[in-house]
C-alpha cells in the first residue's frame, strides 16, 4: 500500500465515530459528539456591537455568558426563520460557544469506510473546516471540524465578545 493511501486511510479512521447531525436548509452536517456539550432551544441573544454579522451575540447560559455563531450566515446561506431553530453548545478551542442550526437530527455512528476526504475546489475555496464527507444511511453528511469553522481572527472576535459581555455582567452584578 502506498504511503499516501495509508495516510488517507489512517486519517479517516481517526474521524470515524459518533456524530450529532443537524440541518441547515436541506443540507445535513455532523459534529463529533465529543465536542457537543448540550442542545438548547433558541433563547434571547444579546447583540454585541462591532462584531461580524455571523456572530449573533451572546446568551446567558445558567450564569455563564457564551458567544453564539449563526452557521447559516457564516456559510453564506439565506437566513430563514423556523420553529425548530436551536443552539448547539460546543467546545471550540477550549471555549464554550453556541452555534445556531435549523434543526438537530440524530446521533449516528459513521465508520471510517463511510468517510471520504473533503473534495478540492481549487485554491480559492477553503475546505479545512471539513473533516470529511460522511455517507451514512443513504445520505451525505458534511462532517465539520468545529475548531476550523471560524478563522483564527473570527474565533478571537467571537471569544472576545463572550469575554467582554461576561466581564460587563460581572461588573453589573458587583455594583
Domains, the chain: 3-174 (2.40.50.180)
Give the pLDDT score at 140.
Answer: 94
Closest CA to 108 of 35, 31, 25: 31
**pLDDT (tens digit, 0 to 9) for every residue of the chain, 175 residues total?**
444 444 444 455 578 999 999 999 999 999 999 999 999 999 999 999 989 999 999 999 999 999 999 999 999 999 887 888 999 999 998 899 999 999 999 999 999 999 998 877 766 666 788 899 999 888 999 999 999 888 777 888 788 876 665 555 444 444 4
- Report the phi/psi class of residue 51: left, alpha or beta, with left for phi > 0 and alpha for psi in -120 to 50: beta
**79/173 Cα distance (integer angstroms):** 35
- Using DSSP, state whether 17 is helix, strand or coil: strand
**10/33 Cα distance (integer angstroms):** 20
Give the pLDDT score at 172.
Answer: 44
Phi and psi for 66 in degrees, rounded to 5? -125, 145
**62/37 Cα distance (integer angstroms):** 13
Please indicate, yes or no, whether the overall pTM of this predicted structure exceeds 0.85. no
**25/159 Cα distance (integer angstroms):** 27
Amino acid at each position: 500500500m502506498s504511503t499516501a493511501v495509508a495516510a488517507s486511510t489512517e486519517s479517516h479512521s481517526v474521524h470515524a465515530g459518533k456524530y450529532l447531525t443537524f440541518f441547515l436548509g436541506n443540507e445535513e452536517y455532523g459534529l463529533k459528539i465529543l465536542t457537543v456539550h448540550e442542545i438548547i432551544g433558541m433563547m434571547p441573544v444579546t447583540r454585541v456591537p462591532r462584531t461580524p454579522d455571523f456572530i449573533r451575540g451572546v446568551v446567558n447560559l445558567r450564569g455563564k455568558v457564551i458567544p453564539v455563531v449563526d452557521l447559516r450566515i457564516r456559510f453564506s446561506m439565506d437566513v430563514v426563520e423556523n420553529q425548530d431553530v436551536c443552539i448547539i453548545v460546543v467546545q471550540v478551542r477550549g471555549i464554550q460557544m453556541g452555534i445556531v442550526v435549523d434543526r438537530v437530527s440524530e446521533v449516528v455512528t459513521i465508520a471510517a469506510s463511510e468517510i471520504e476526504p473533503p473534495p478540492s475546489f481549487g485554491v480559492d475555496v477553503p475546505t479545512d473546516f471539513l473533516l470529511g464527507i460522511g455517507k451514512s444511511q443513504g445520505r451525505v453528511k458534511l462532517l465539520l471540524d468545529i475548531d476550523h469553522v471560524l478563522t483564527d481572527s473570527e474565533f478571537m472576535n467571537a471569544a472576545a465578545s463572550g469575554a467582554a459581555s461576561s466581564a460587563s455582567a460581572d461588573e453589573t452584578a458587583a455594583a
